[in-house]
Amino acid sequence: MAADTRGSASGAKAKLPQQRPGNPLRDNADRRLPRVPPPCALVVFGITGDLAQKKLLPAVYDLANRGLLPTSFVLLGFARRDWGDGEFIELAHKAAKEHARTPWREDVWKRLASSCKFVPGAFDDDAAFDTLAETLLDLEESHGVSGNAAFYLSIPPDSFPVVLKQMQRTGMADNIDDSITGYWRRVVVEKPFGHDLASSRELNELVDSVFTAQDVFRIDHYLGKETVQNLLALRFANTLFEPVWNSHHVDSVQITMAEDVGIGSRADFYDATGTARDVVQNHILQLLALTAMEEPVEYTPDAIRIEKLKVLRAISLPEDLPRYAIRGQYTQGWLAGQRVPGYVQEEKVPDDSTTETYVALRLGVQTRRWAGVPFYLRAGKRLPRRVTEIALTFRPAPHVPFTASDTESLGQNQLVVRVQPDEGVTLKFGSKVPGTVMEVRDVAMDFLYGTAFTEASPEAYERLLLDVLIGDATLFPRHEEVEASWAVIDPLEEFWAGQEPAHYRGGEWGPTEADEMLASDGRAWRRP
């Protein structure tokens, strides 16, 4: 990039950008330049599924629209449908048009449509996989794509083994060093990564036997969210927050992932999974890791993984599980003026299901920075509103010179990172109420992405897909992190096994047991 010479006297030397030593976000490369992948193919297994239609196809269109796909690019769909390219293009058109973030441009779509291909087949159909492998080989001549391919497994986890073995058999996957082959082959695995520690280990071993570790991209779409990445910027690009980001100043941390929706049409998946495995094991523990981790030595996949892993391995469960590990299930209720069914009344959910749709937990992080600070986590469906946030509550001032009545409306200082919606950060602190007496009341200072920036946030999948095609693994959990997270969840599942969940009415903030849990610690949940 040319150095900025604006404002310099003519003939004066251009000022070089300053290196800031000790900054983990520094890099010699200019990360602001658009990153465009090399010629490549994206092969999606399960292209007709929900995820592909709502997220992946629109994300590919958005990337094309922003000019972030290479000129030689092929989108290859694989699914059990008796389809040709035409039907696939029709599906992709509908999905992209309905869910894309960026404006619709027919010329962009037409160009993308000309690189869409479809191979029909079942996962156990050898002939179909042979055709897929041949199609990949032919891409060099037809589209100028010579070897680079990412395989996205947007399929149920029980189909991973058969698909991976087919890729191995046909030579589509390869675990040979990219510098020897001259091209890369990557695999993208959607969560859940197993359903417990043992099965995640098995899955990791299987994937690692077919692909090299650095070619495996595990998607946790929360890491693709701008606000989640901003946690690192907030903490490590500033000086303001780090000095108070520890047990000397922080009283407690609350991480909330509330959803107003129910389980929709995902009963088969959800009833066998539950909230702890669906979102706590991955999204919430990743948020906790980013909140609690030490500064990485640099902004690279390995440096970040090392720090996150240290946190995940330092997590401790409370001894009193009945009090601090609550699971709930929603019953019939009201949400936004509408009557909503209970969980067991949802289509395809068994009447006697004990699967949880809500979890509240108290965890500890046994490090010098965090020992003694409770991390309260909660996640649930059919709560009053959709909101994900991380709230740090600070200790009260050791001494306040004002009277108790002066400070009646003063709470504890709080820093809230709003992951979604209303993306931004709020700082809550006490201020003097205008008037002739000294009265202190809580006020809030807000940073809102929507007003502070004109740049639009890419959708999480768009960002992550681009990273896969570029080969940037910074925002993808490694298998050690996945295993460390299961090591937290396994004992909880064991404790809950065979127990009835507590109940809460749809549209309420979870079961009363969750409120009692905080009340017994002398605290209360935030009402976001």
DSSP code at position 215:
G
Q: Which listed residue (95, 153, 219, 279) binds ligand BG6 by CB under 6 A?
A: 279
CB of 192 to ligand BG6, least distance (A): 8
Looking at residues 241 to 270 of the shown chain, list those that interact with ligand BG6 (rule: CB under 6 A): 259
Considering the complex, state which of residue 226 and residue 307 has its C-beta at the smaller distance from ligand BG6: 226
Considering the complex, state which of residue 388 and residue 393 has its C-beta at the smaller distance from ligand BG6: 388
CB of 159 to ligand BG6, least distance (A): 17
Pseudo-torsion of CA 147, 153, 155, 159, nearest 10°? 80
CB of 71 to ligand BG6, least distance (A): 31
Catalytic status, residue 249: no
Dihedral sign for Cα 447, 450, 454, 459, please: positive
Does 278 engage in binding with ligand BG6 (CB under 6 A)?
yes
Given the structure tokens 């922003």, which residue do they identify? Answer: 66
CB of 259 to ligand BG6, least distance (A): 5
Residue 149 and residue 134: Cα distance in Å, rounded? 13
List 283, 399, 479, 503, catalytic entry: 283
Dihedral sign for Cα 312, 224, 25, 256, please: negative
Considering the complex, state which of residue 226 and residue 278 has its C-beta at the smaller distance from ligand BG6: 278
Considering the complex, state which of residue 278 and residue 389 has its C-beta at the smaller distance from ligand BG6: 278
Q: Which residue type occupies 331?
A: T
Does 481 engage in binding with ligand BG6 (CB under 6 A)?
no
CB of 361 to ligand BG6, least distance (A): 17
Q: Which residue type occupies 451?
A: T
CB of 194 to ligand BG6, least distance (A): 14
CA 377 from centroid of its chain's CA atoms? 16
Residue 308, token pair as written in the block: 């996150």
**In 259-385, where do the E strands start and end?**
315-316, 325-331, 333-335, 338-340, 358-365, 375-380
Looking at residues 366 to 405 of the shown chain, list those that interact with ligand BG6 (rule: CB under 6 A): 388
Residue 261 and residue 340: Cα distance in Å, rounded? 10
Residue 426 and residue 344: Cα distance in Å, rounded? 38
Does 356 engage in binding with ligand BG6 (CB under 6 A)?
no
Residue 211 and residue 425: Cα distance in Å, rounded? 40
Considering the complex, state which of residue 357 and residue 413 has its C-beta at the smaller distance from ligand BG6: 357
Considering the complex, state which of residue 65 and residue 388 has its C-beta at the smaller distance from ligand BG6: 388
Name the burial class of residue 390, with classes exposed (0-12), middle (13-18) and buried (19+) by CB atoms within 10 angstroms of its CB.
Answer: buried
Sites of contact with ligand BG6 (CB under 6 A): 259, 278-279, 388
Catalytic residues: 283
